[in-house]
Amino acid sequence: MDLKVLRATIGKEFQIRLRAYPVDFMVGCILTSFYTVFGAWMMYHYFFRKRLATDFADLAGTSDYMSYAIVGSLVYLFVVRTCLNVSRRLITELREGTLESLMLAPFRRTSYFVGNMILQTIMTLGETVIAAIIGIFFGLRIHEFCLWKFITAVLLSLYGFFGLSLILGCVMIYARDTYVSQNTLFAAIFLVCGITFPKEYLPKILQMIGDIIPVTDSLTLIRSAFFGGLSTDRFIHIGIKVFIAGTVYVFTGLPLMKQLEKITLEKMEG
């Protein structure tokens, strides 16, 4: 990895965030998490009358539905913000007319995308903390916090999200579209990855789709760090699954992105 490219990418992207993106955008992302939590709160209290299925605790690892849903919404916020901003970097360069200049520069894809991921993670942490504080008023409770599990879960999750963002970026730059591709993926994640309810309630085919998206297992790890419910052996097993999935996405996305860059530049030249 080229550290000069990494530092330059972080510096450039920070200046863009500082100068070009208004506070309203950050507020909008926090409101998205708020609406998810508020919707879950309304359904739990007024539609389900605080009654859960008998197998909910076994599937979710906790009987505290609101904490389960709030942690899911926080992770969903993190997924959307990191995957969205990392995946759309090259198509943004294309739209701004700087893609050719980027290709001519001492461009190292790994350093470039990792730099974007690091900055986006730092920026999103602030939004997630604010959303978590809001979640406390809706019933967020930590029952059995484990620090080493939390750190492990976060690092593995970021690796999985990074790989997922590369694949999404490949789809975006090939289709020259961000709106349809990103919203389709995020809607699928919300449905099949267990954001507000265990994926085991879904049909088998949707469960299988959820299993190949690293967000599902990442959520399981993070919830385990907050609520318990997983043995150490089971935690390690799921962590290995997230690492393998992230590795497959990364080593598929980077070479594929390189090939799609050539196709994109050829299309630009007519």
pLDDT of residue 268: 61
Decide: 195 and 39 in contact? Cβ < 8 Å: no
What CA–CA distance (Å, rounded) separates 186 from 182? 6
Share of the chain residues as helix, strand and coil, in percent rounded to the nearest 5: 80, 0, 20
pLDDT of residue 269: 57
Decide: 218 and 157 in contact? Cβ < 8 Å: yes
Decide: 109 and 258 in contact? Cβ < 8 Å: yes
Is residue 38 one of the residues assigned to a domain? yes
Is residue 255 one of the residues assigned to a domain? yes
Is residue 163 one of the residues assigned to a domain? yes
Block residue for tokens 């979710």: 60
How wide is the angle at C-alpha 244 spanned by C-alphas 243 and 246, nearest 5°?
Answer: 65
- Identify which of 13, 191, 185, 28 has the alpha carbon closest to the alpha carbon of residue 86: 13
What CA–CA distance (Å, rounded) separates 98 from 52? 53
16 has pLDDT over 70: yes
Is residue 270 one of the residues assigned to a domain? no
Decide: 13 and 102 in contact? Cβ < 8 Å: no
The model's confidence at residue 96, banded by pLDDT at 50, 70 and 90, is confident
Pick the more confident residue, 93 or 249.
249
Beta strands in the chain (DSSP E): none
pLDDT of residue 21: 66
Is residue 205 one of the residues assigned to a domain? yes
| pLDDT tens digits, one per residue of 118-159 | 888 888 888 888 888 888 888 888 888 889 999 999 999 999
C-alpha pair distances (Å), 258 with each of 26, 67, 173: 31, 42, 11
What mean pLDDT do residues 202-211 have? 92
Pick the more confident residue, 24 or 244.
244
What single string gives the DSSP state of each residue in 9-42?
HHHHHHHHHHHHS-HHHHHHHHHHHHHHHHHHHH
215 has pLDDT over 80: yes
C-alpha pair distances (Å), 255 with each of 234, 250, 259, 260: 33, 9, 7, 9
Question: 146: domain range?
Answer: 3-264
| pLDDT tens digits, one per residue of 18-56 | 776 666 667 777 777 788 888 888 888 888 888 888 888
pLDDT of residue 87: 82
Which amino acid is located at 51 in the chain? R
Is residue 269 one of the residues assigned to a domain? no
Mean of pLDDT over the chain: 84
What CA–CA distance (Å, rounded) separates 111 from 106? 11
Is residue 260 one of the residues assigned to a domain? yes
Pick the more confident residue, 84 or 41.
41
pLDDT of residue 245: 92
What mean pLDDT do residues 205-219 have? 92
Decide: 33 and 74 in contact? Cβ < 8 Å: yes
| pLDDT tens digits, one per residue of 36-46 | 888 888 888 88
High-pLDDT (> 70) share of the chain, %: 95
High-pLDDT (> 90) share of the chain, %: 22
- pTM for this entry: 0.88
pLDDT of residue 24: 66
- Identify which of 147, 150, 146, 142 has the alpha carbon closest to the alpha carbon of residue 70: 142
* Number of domains the chain contains: 1
Collapse the DSSP code of 1 into the 3-class scheme (helix H, G, I; strand E, B; otherwise coil) and give the result. Answer: coil
